[in-house]
């Protein structure tokens, strides 16, 4: 009897112990696998996919901008000749804008973004290995078209992801574009400093950024899961799901609550307006502010290094570092932009930006030393950094047009400034001097200061944030 009892006890003990050990081991393994899967899905989420494309777009453009002096010297271009080539880049972008928009509507902006990235990388390499001016012109046109098409598509993709999150995240994407531009310019500065040819640099850098295309090519099924279940749902749906008070309500009551919530949240009723309209009144002032900022920002990418080489007599490596300084200042302010606008308001923020751009433009245009040029470029980066977020926010709250039409009308001026700024500086420098042409930025900075008054007008739009929804619960 004692033997039987002991045997049963030992068997139970051993069985229970082995079961617990095996169960715990399997549970631990499955838990680790689940965590690994979650980590991977989090990293390759739509937000990070879009962020990677913004970094790639800025990185390739920064790499090109930093080595423009090397290309100019290699082909012995005058400022006017270089201005014509930059106009070709702008022409390629303008030609690609409507095509990219149409393809994004038909196939989706994420797919169009990835295809553009596949063209964008080799286009930079084509510039590096152009054997003559004709091939260089064709390569720059393709590079500009890929850059412009990708810019339109990735911003459309970013807007989709932003709608899924239900809160503003667009500013962080544009900040990451500046990060990419700074990285590309910094890589170009190192290559120029070490006297590495721009053709080899473009090839290596394009190969370094190419894996980001694979990273951003997330499956369609991961798109909804990674961005959250709120994608494709209305604001009322999200509020109903987040409000525990509606969990026990009957279906009819839920529907009524959802309808009332949507009515309260809606900022403006839909208005029938033309698909495209030129801005008027205060909105025209906002558009001119966008144009003035865009001219300066676009010209800095193409002419800051050339200015330091030609006027300050800096080396290629020192000159390439100038755009890096500009980009670092800009991205730092963009990450801090939301906090600054919240605490000081849009009018005061824009005035601060205008004054910073004005002082930086004066210092840069009159600089006689390399450090003076760096300080001026840094202040210009601070001045231009937060202008576009303010411009698009003001346009969205316009009392004259619906948000979409107002933003589109202002964007025309913004893109126009980005594309026309570089060749305009080249043409002015051709008939006068490069130092004199940089005086244009002083006049444009005054537009930012004087135009700030228009950013205190417009409709007051009621916005419900996630924190407000949480407090109402």
**Residue 139, in any domain of the structure:** yes
Residues 285 and 204 in one domain: no
Contacts of 193 (CB under 8 A, 6+ apart): 315, 316, 317, 318, 320
Span 312-344, pLDDT tens digits:
988 888 888 888 899 889 888 888 887 887 788
Token pair in block for residue 216: 């951003």
**Residue 196, in any domain of the structure:** yes
The answer, as to whether pTM is greater than 0.75, is no
**Residue 50, in any domain of the structure:** yes
pLDDT at 256: 41
**Residue 98, in any domain of the structure:** yes
Nearest to 325 by CA among 181, 132, 472: 181
pLDDT at 457: 55
Residues 163, 170, 175: CA angle, nearest 5 degrees? 160
The whole-angstrom separation of Cα 206 and Cα 200 is: 10
- CATH classification of the domain holding 181: 1.20.1250.20
Among left, alpha and beta (phi > 0; psi -120 to 50; other), residue 37 is alpha
pLDDT at 449: 94
Nearest to 47 by CA among 166, 146, 150: 166
Q: Which ranges constitute the DSSP H helices of 311-433?
A: 316-366, 370-385, 387-396, 403-431
Half-sphere exposure of 451 toward its Cβ, with a 13 Å CA cutoff?
26
Domains of the chain: total:
2
Helices and strands: H and E segment counts in the chain:
20, 0
Average pLDDT over residues 351-375: 94
pLDDT at 464: 35
Residues 279 and 214 in one domain: no
Residues 285 and 223 in one domain: no
Mapped onto helix, strand or coil, the DSSP state of residue 145 is: helix
Residues 217 and 286 in one domain: no
The whole-angstrom separation of Cα 314 and Cα 211 is: 35
Structural domain of residue 464, as residue ranges?
272-473
Span 401-436, pLDDT tens digits:
654 456 666 777 887 888 788 888 988 998 988 899
| Better pLDDT: 242 or 134 | 134
């Amino acid at each position: 009897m004692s033997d039987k009892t002991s045997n049963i006890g030992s068997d139970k003990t051993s069985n229970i112990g082995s079961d617990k050990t095996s169960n715990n081991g399997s549970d631990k393994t499955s838990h680790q696998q689940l965590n690994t899967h979650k980590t991977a899905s989090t990293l390759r989420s739509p937000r990070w996919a879009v962020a990677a494309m913004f970094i790639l777009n800025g990185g390739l453009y920064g790499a090109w901008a930093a080595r423009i002096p090397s290309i100019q010297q290699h082909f012995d271009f005058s400022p006017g000749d270089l201005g014509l080539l930059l106009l070709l880049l702008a022409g390629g972008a303008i030609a690609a804008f409507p095509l990219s928009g149409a393809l994004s509507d038909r196939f989706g902006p994420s797919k169009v973004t990835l295809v553009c990235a596949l063209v964008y990388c080799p286009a930079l390499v084509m510039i590096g290995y152009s054997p003559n001016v004709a091939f260089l012109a064709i390569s720059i046109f393709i590079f500009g078209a890929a850059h412009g098409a990708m810019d339109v598509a990735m911003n459309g993709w970013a807007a989709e992801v932003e709608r899924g999150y239900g809160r503003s995240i667009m500013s962080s994407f544009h900040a990451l574009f500046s990060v990419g531009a700074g990285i590309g310019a910094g890589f170009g500065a190192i290559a120029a400093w070490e006297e590495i040819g721009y053709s080899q640099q473009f090839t290596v850098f394009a190969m370094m950024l190419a894996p980001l295309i694979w990273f951003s090519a997330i499956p369609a099924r991961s798109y909804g899961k990674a961005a959250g279940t709120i994608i494709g749902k209305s604001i009322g749906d999200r509020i109903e799901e987040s409000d525990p008070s509606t969990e026990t309500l009957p279906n009819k009551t839920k529907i009524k609550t959802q309808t009332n919530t949507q009515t309260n949240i809606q900022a403006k009723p839909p208005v029938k307006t033309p698909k495209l309209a030129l801005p008027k009144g205060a909105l025209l002032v906002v558009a001119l502010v966008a144009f003035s900022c865009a001219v300066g920002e676009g010209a800095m990418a193409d002419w800051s290094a050339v200015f330091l080489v030609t006027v300050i007599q800096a080396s290629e490596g020192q000159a390439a570092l100038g755009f890096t300084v500009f980009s670092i200042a800009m991205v730092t302010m963009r990450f801090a932009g939301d906090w600054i606008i919240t605490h000081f308001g849009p009018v005061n923020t824009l005035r601060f930006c205008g004054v910073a751009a004005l002082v930086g433009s004066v210092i840069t245009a009159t600089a006689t030393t390399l450090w003076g040029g760096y300080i001026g470029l840094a202040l210009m980066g601070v001045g231009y950094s937060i202008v576009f977020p303010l411009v698009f926010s003001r346009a969205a709250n316009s009392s004259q047009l619906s948000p979409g039409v107002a933003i589109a009308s202002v964007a025309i001026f913004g893109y126009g400034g980005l594309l026309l700024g570089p060749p305009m500086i080249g043409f002015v420098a051709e008939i006068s001097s490069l130092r004199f042409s940089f005086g244009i930025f002083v006049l444009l900075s005054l537009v930012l200061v004087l135009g700030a008054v228009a950013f205190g007008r417009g409709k007051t739009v009621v916005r419900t944030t996630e924190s407000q929804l949480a407090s109402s619960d």
